[in-house]
Amino acid sequence: MAKSKLLDLMRRLGSDAALAAEFDKDPETVIQRAGLSDEERKAMLGKDYPAIKRLTGLEDGQFATNHIIFAYEE
């Protein structure tokens, strides 16, 4: 599987408080800057967990959310 921009963004959101705060205020801009595809954007904004798992290769327990979706390092 190619490197997932969605997975990269999820990990950055979990480790960069400034980026997470920006995402809270303007998720579309953060997503656009990250270069996510339309499918990835919809999954992230809709918190579509089955799509996120399919797009990133993550399994249950490797990601979590409160208001932002985060990915855990293996």
pLDDT tens sequence across 45-56: 998 989 998 999
Residue 64: in which H helix or E strand, if any? strand 63-65
Q: How high is the mean pLDDT of the chain?
A: 86
Q: How many domains does the chain have?
A: 1
More confident residue, 65 or 56: 56
- DSSP for 9-74? HHHHHHH-HHHHHHHHH-HHHHHHHHT--HHHHHHHHHT-HHHHHHHH---TTSEEESSSEEE---
Task: Please state, in angstroms and rounded to a whole number, the distance separating the CA atoms of residues 1 and 20.
Answer: 26
The structure's pTM equals 0.81
Structure tokens that stand for 29 in this block: 């801009």
> Which range of residues forms the domain containing residue 36?
5-71
Q: Is residue 63 pLDDT above 90, yes or no?
A: no
Q: Which of 1-10, 25-34, 44-53, 61-70 has the highest mean pLDDT?
A: 25-34
